[in-house]
Chain A
Amino acid sequence: MSGKPRETANVGAGLWKATGMWAWLLFRISGLILVFYLGAHIIVISTGQFDKLNDLMKMFDNPVLVLMDLALVVAVLYHALNGVRIILMDFGIGVHRHKILFWGAMAVVVVCFAVFAWVAFTFIVTGEGVTS
């Protein structure tokens, strides 16, 4: 009887090879980037109490910083969607199909990123937001 070998002896084993390993490594790297960003973000935004916020915020209209913000969005989206995949697998959903789940999550990342990129590039080119 070799009906479903992937769902018996090999449960979870593939998670630490190839796709799963890269997913884990990028999850860890994006997580560390976000930890340091959060710390910096709290410190920067709190300067609003010293009336220094407006000068700082003007800096973020610079195209280079808009692109860096967009890179940050990639880190957030990757970490969020891979996190959703991990939570689903905690519930036993998709453990045997974790690669499909991973690429499905990445498809969601791409779609969400497209919206943020459209807003960012519209701002860089026209100097205005998409709703203004």
Chain B
Amino acid sequence: MWSWLFQRITAVLLIVMLAIHLIFTHILNIGELNYDNIAERLAHGGLIAVDIILLAAGIYHALNGLRMVLMDYWFTSRKRAMALTGILWVVGIAFMAYGTWALWPWIS
């Protein structure tokens, strides 16, 4: 129930944030993407919030989606499903930490 609801909430967040992300990276800055170009945009505020929401919502949505697919095939019993959920939370938190570390110069 909660995973279903959060999958919808993160979906809506991702549509909005990903639209902003793709307009900046693909449409407005194609061919000009480098560290300085990205850093300049992040320094202006707003987009750092977009990136953090993208990171959190993206990781949750991706791993919860992967969990649903895997539960249809191999992780069919309750015991296996619980183990899978635990593993994916660890993976998710690790990716969240790694991504946050990459953004840290602009967060702090």
Contact = CB atoms under 8 A, between A and B. Distances in A.
A4 to B, nearest CB: 29
Interface residues of A, number: 40
Interface stretch (A15-23, A26-34, A96-104): A26-34
B98 interface: yes
Nearest to B21: A76
A57 B26 contact: no
A87 to B, nearest CB: 6
A41 to B, nearest CB: 9
Nearest to A53: B35
A31 B63 CA distance: 10
Nearest first, the 9 A-B pairs at minimum CB distance are: A46-B102, A35-B62, A129-B30, A53-B35, A54-B34, A42-B99, A123-B30, A31-B65, A38-B62
Given A87-B8, A131-B27, 13 more contacts: A31-B62, A35-B63, A35-B65, A35-B66, A42-B59, A46-B98, A69-B26, A76-B18, A80-B14, A84-B15, A123-B30, A128-B31, A129-B28
